[in-house]
Amino acid sequence: MRNRLLLTALALVLPLGQVFANAEKVDYQAVVDQAYAQFKDVDEGANADYIPILATVPSDMFGVVIVTRDGKVFSAGEMDYEFSIQSVSKPFTASLVMAQQGPAAVRTKIGVEPTGLPFNSKMALELYDARSVNPLVNAGAIAAVSLVDADSEADRWDQIHGNLNDYAGRELTVLEEVYTSEYEESWSNRAIANLLFNYGRLYSEPEQTLRVYTRQCSTGINTRDLGMMGATLANEGVNPATGKRVLDAAHVPELLAIMATAGFYDESGEWMYSAGLPAKTGVGGGIVAVVPGKFAIATFSPPLNEAGNSIRGMRAIRYIAGELGVGLYGPNAGE
Name the site residues for ligand GLU (rule: CB under 6 A).
86-87, 119-120, 138, 182, 189, 217, 282-283, 308
Burial zone of 119 (CB within 10 Å; 0-12 exposed, 13-18 middle, 19+ buried): buried
Decide whether 86 or 115 has the Cβ nearer to ligand GLU: 86
List the one residue out of 194, 84, 177, 94 whose CA is nearest residue 140: 94
Q: Are 174 and 168 in contact (CB under 8 A)?
A: no
Decide whether 227 or 263 has the Cβ nearer to ligand GLU: 263
Smallest distance, Å, CB 85 to ligand GLU?
8
What is the rounded CA–CA span in Å between residue 189 and residue 211? 10
Smallest distance, Å, CB 235 to ligand GLU?
25
Q: Are 136 and 124 in contact (CB under 8 A)?
A: no
Decide whether 76 or 142 has the Cβ nearer to ligand GLU: 142
User: What's the one-letter identity of residue 175?
Assistant: L
User: Residue 213: which residues within 8 A CB-CB, separation 6 or more?
Assistant: 141, 142, 145, 189, 193
C-alpha distance across the termini of the chain, in Å: 44
Decide whether 83 or 295 has the Cβ nearer to ligand GLU: 83
Decide whether 175 or 283 has the Cβ nearer to ligand GLU: 283
Decide whether 31 or 175 has the Cβ nearer to ligand GLU: 175
Residue, CB closest to ligand GLU: 87
Q: Which segments of the chain are extended strands (E)?
A: 63-68, 73-77, 83-84, 220-221, 279-281, 286-291, 295-300
Smallest distance, Å, CB 69 to ligand GLU?
26
What is the rounded CA–CA span in Å between residue 227 and residue 210? 27
Smallest distance, Å, CB 304 to ligand GLU?
9
Decide whether 138 or 208 has the Cβ nearer to ligand GLU: 138
What is the rounded CA–CA span in Å between residue 67 and residue 52? 32
Binning the chain into helix, strand and coil, the percentages to the nearest 5 are 50, 10, 35
Decide whether 77 or 282 has the Cβ nearer to ligand GLU: 282
Question: Strand 73-77 and strand 295-300: pairing?
Answer: unpaired
Smallest distance, Å, CB 196 to ligand GLU?
13
Smallest distance, Å, CB 142 to ligand GLU?
8
Decide whether 95 or 309 has the Cβ nearer to ligand GLU: 309
Smallest distance, Å, CB 26 to ligand GLU?
31
Burial zone of 41 (CB within 10 Å; 0-12 exposed, 13-18 middle, 19+ buried): exposed
Smallest distance, Å, CB 287 to ligand GLU?
10
Question: Strand 83-84 and strand 73-77: pairing?
Answer: unpaired
Number of other CB atoms surrounding residue 187 within 10 Å:
8
Number of other CB atoms surrounding residue 166 within 10 Å:
20
Smallest distance, Å, CB 249 to ligand GLU?
28
